[in-house]
Amino acid sequence: MKVSIMITCLADAIYPKVGEAMARILARYGIEADFPQLQTCCGQPAFNSGYWDEARASALTMLEAFQESDFVVTPSGSCAGMIHHYYLKLFESDEARYRQAEELIDKTYEFSRFLVHVMGVTDVGAHFPHKVTYHPSCHGSRLLGVKDEPLKLLEHVRGLELIPLPYAEDCCGFGGTFSVKMSDISGAMVSEKVDHVLETKAEVLVGIDLGCLMNIAGHLRHRGQSLRVMHLAELLDEGMGVTA
């Protein structure tokens, strides 16, 4: 069974440790994931800005990279959402590519969903004795419907105290190029999000999307706050390391 990692451009370039953590968790369950080198980016930055030809060029690498895979796992609800929701539209005028896109959609899973729904795991046996709050990313939860999976995984972590994030469902203001083009609006949104995060008095903010986490962490640091920001895979991996 060929399980492949879709690393996403952000994790590849900036947060490789998230990809490593995800791969290690899979390996602990006997899944030796592979990493098809052809992949680059799902194309979302160009797609959302309305540059679809450019997005297609990037998306093509995904169609080709994962042709042989049985499952594709990615540490991003947003990138998985891009594939699930927009690839058919992106390739609607090319029959062969459209079919490839359908296949890719069928086998592509956001990390927590893969763990819970495919592997059937909700308790990874991790130990993480900290106060944690969870930010549900918009694309993961609204486009992809990943809502309960991360919470289920967190609930089973020993010692972890999960503190509900007020206004959790509000967007953090990232929105890809929105954060640069409309930076004042985006800045107001992330500032409000960080207020809510700090209100929880949690030691760790966890999420399933690196775009949002980069945005929130970036503003936390900008305000001189040192609160730890982690991807769910990092938290679980670290917690599993403690018990192993």
Partner 1 sequence: MKATNEQTVLERAKQALNDEFLRNAVKLTTEKLKNGRLSAAKQLGNWEEWRERARQIRQHTIAHLDYYLNQFADQARKQGVHVHFAKDGKEAVEIAIRIAISKQAQTVVKSKSMVSEEIHMNEALEQNGIESVETDLGEYIIQLAGEMPSHIIIPAIHKNRKQIAELLSRDANETLAPDTAVLAGYVRKKLREKFLAADIGMTGCNFAIAETGSIVLFENEGNARMVSTLPKTQITLMGMERIVPTWDDLEVMATMLPRSATGQRLTVYMSGITGPRRPDDGDGPEEMHVIILDNGRSLQLGDPEFQELLHCIRCGACLNACPVYRHIGGHSYGSTYSGPIGAVLKPALNKNVLEWDDVANASSLCGACYEACPVKIPLHDMLVYLRRRKNEAGAGLCSEKWMMKGFKVVMAKPHRLRAVLKAGRLGQMPLVRDGAISAHLGPLKGWTAYRRFPALAKPSFRERWPHLQAELKEKARRASVKEHVQLRLKQIREKRTKKTGGNRDE
CA separation for the pair 134, 163 (Å, rounded): 8
CA distances from 74 to 29, 102, 198, 209, 211 (A): 17, 17, 28, 10, 13
Does residue 102 bind partner 1 (CB under 8 A)?
yes
DSSP secondary structure letters along 82-123: HHHHHHHHHTTT-HHHHHHHHHHHHHEEEHHHIIIIIS--S-
CB of 69 to partner 1, least distance (A): 10
Among 190, 197, 204, 205, binds partner 1 (CB under 8 A): 190
Binding to partner 1 (CB under 8 A) within 207-226 occurs at 214-215, 217-219, 221-222
Does residue 90 bind partner 1 (CB under 8 A)?
no
- Which C-beta is closer to partner 1: that of 186 or that of 200? 186
Q: How many CB atoms lie within 10 A of CB 53?
A: 8
Does residue 235 bind partner 1 (CB under 8 A)?
no
Placement of tokens 């893969």 in the chain: 114
Does residue 183 bind partner 1 (CB under 8 A)?
yes
Binding mask 151-170 for partner 1 (x = CB under 8 A): ------------------xx
Binding to partner 1 (CB under 8 A) within 35-54 occurs at 35, 37-41, 43, 45-54
Helix (H, G, I), strand (E, B) or coil at 206: strand
Does residue 138 bind partner 1 (CB under 8 A)?
yes
Does residue 187 bind partner 1 (CB under 8 A)?
yes
Among 4, 60, 113, 205, binds partner 1 (CB under 8 A): 60
CA separation for the pair 128, 243 (Å, rounded): 10
Angle, vertex CA 22, rays to CA 219 and CA 167, nearest 5: 40
Cα 102 to chain centroid, rounded: 21
Q: Tell me the site size for partner 1, rule CB under 8 A.
A: 88
Does residue 148 bind partner 1 (CB under 8 A)?
no
Does residue 242 bind partner 1 (CB under 8 A)?
no
